[in-house]
Amino acid sequence: MKKPIKIAVVGSGYGRKVALPVYAELAEFEPVAVWSRRPERARELAAEAGVGLGTADFDELLSVPGLEAVHVATPVATHVQFVVAAAERGLHILCEKPMADNLAGARRIAAAIESAGVVGVVDYELRMEQTRQRVIERAREVVGRPRMVSVSLVQSDHADPDSRPYTWVHDAQLGGGRLQGYGVHDLDLVLELFPDIDAVAAASDVGVPVRRTEDDELRRVTAEDAYALLLRFSGGGLGVVTLVATARHGRSDVIEIHGDEGTVRLDGDRRVWWGRASEELQSEGPLDASSTKAFTQVARNFWAAVREGVAPDPSLQEGLRVQAIFDAVRAADIERRWVAPEPVTSPP
Ligand SMILES: NC(=O)c1ccc[n+]([C@@H]2O[C@H](COP(=O)([O-])OP(=O)(O)OC[C@H]3O[C@@H](n4cnc5c(N)ncnc54)[C@H](OP(=O)(O)O)[C@@H]3O)[C@@H](O)[C@H]2O)c1
């Protein structure tokens, strides 16, 4: 019999759409509270999800009797304050990605979790989607050393000023931007296969510079809706990670890994192709790319880390490793030069 973890969800976006329904479905969890900035919204969410408490008072949420864990799903720049307060109360943490808006913030999170002696997991779930899982497995089998890795995302959801309302996602100060949305997942995937990156170069752009809020106010967009990152791997090989969210015609993600021993490709029809040098490529698919299923895996891993002492996956160390590249990318973009990422080798 699995003893469920009593968990509180902080955030009414992803927290409501994905996290709460998954926790409600799994025997491993008992969602007991939910937080929104707006008290009324919090109560509505609690009623909708059938959890005991909906509140805008974070302290009240942390004081729920028997609470064991908190899932923080708020704007990136606010993760530190929520995570540190929860860890200091001895609660296990599932933190949304990226951990923070910079490496210093991510290190504060890792340090707070470590000194509280609680479990910390970072929600880099995309690499648990079946498509990406298979890319990783096949690449480990056939690719060898990297020669060229490319991850290309083409989305149309930001193509017009009215295609998505203005939120924190469009505000650089709150850690918004498509790099925090998708770029960090793609860096996480690349680092899973090729963890040693010597230097990065980067350019980002805002293609649609004004958006309307839900209250019909016009706001200037300060966070990127397109980027192109160049990676130089230690020991040779290059990586290219790109996204455009303002395309007129979106498509599924395309990933290509060309190594000295072979090739792996995820095509736009969600098929994975692979082969060693001199072999014809074989393929399987279309494969599943459900983010709900991927998050279910992260949630189960979190349970196993809390209840069975299994190593957290994705771990804080993996979160920090992405964050170091993310910081280097920001500096490279602003300063228009190659930047070496800060090493984050020792476990937190
Ligand atoms: N793992 C994944 O694949 C994945 C997917 C999507 C998002 N995420 C992550 O989840 C987190 C939240 O993203 P989201 O898409 O859920 O955002 P969202 O829909 O805008 O929800 C954000 C939550 O934070 C609150 N909030 C908004 N602005 C705030 C501010 N200035 N200070 C404090 N709280 C604020 C909102 O309050 P109200 O309740 O009042 O609106 C809401 O509860 C981010 O870290 C994002 O990267 C992860």
Residue 345: pLDDT over 90: no
Same domain, 139 and 170: yes
**C-alpha of residue 76 to centroid of ligand 1, in Å:** 8
pLDDT digits (tens, 9 = 90+) for 90-118: 999 999 999 999 999 999 999 999 999 99
**Domain contains 327:** no
**C-alpha of residue 282 to centroid of ligand 1, in Å:** 40
Cα(239)–Cα(143) distance, rounded to whole angstroms? 14
Same domain, 26 and 147: no
**C-alpha of residue 182 to centroid of ligand 1, in Å:** 14
**Domain contains 216:** yes
Find out whether 54 and 36 touch, Cβ atoms under 8 Å: yes
Same domain, 72 and 143: no
Same domain, 285 and 169: yes
Q: Is 171 close to ligand 1, i.e. is its CB under 6 Å away?
A: no
**pLDDT-based confidence at residue 151 (cuts at 50, 70, 90):** very high
Find out whether 313 and 172 touch, Cβ atoms under 8 Å: no
**Domain contains 89:** yes
Give 146-183 as a DSSP string.
Answer: EEEEEEEEE--TTSSTTSS---GGG-GGGT-SHIIIII
Same domain, 137 and 243: yes
Cα(177)–Cα(318) distance, rounded to whole angstroms? 21
**Domain contains 344:** no
| Ligand 1 atom nearest 295 alpha carbon | 1
Please report where in the chains the tokens 């809020």 appear, as a residue: 213
Residue in 194, 152, 195 with CA at minimum distance from that of residue 317: 195
Please report where in the chains the tokens 């995309």 appear, as a residue: 126
Same domain, 150 and 270: yes
Please report where in the chains the tokens 């609680």 appear, as a residue: 118
Same domain, 84 and 205: no
| Arithmetic mean of pLDDT over the chain | 96
Q: Is 76 close to ligand 1, i.e. is its CB under 6 Å away?
A: yes
Structural domain total, the chain: 2
Q: Write the CATH number for 301.
A: 3.40.50.720
**C-alpha of residue 226 to centroid of ligand 1, in Å:** 20
pLDDT digits (tens, 9 = 90+) for 239-261: 999 999 999 999 999 999 999 99
Q: Write the CATH number for 170.
A: 3.30.360.10
Same domain, 181 and 196: yes
Same domain, 90 and 177: no
Residue nearest atom 6 in ligand 1 by C-alpha distance: 14
Same domain, 218 and 104: no
| Domain hosting residue 257, numbered range | 130-289
Backbone angles phi, psi at 263, to 5 degrees: -140, 145
Cα(61)–Cα(40) distance, rounded to whole angstroms? 15
Find out whether 233 and 248 touch, Cβ atoms under 8 Å: no
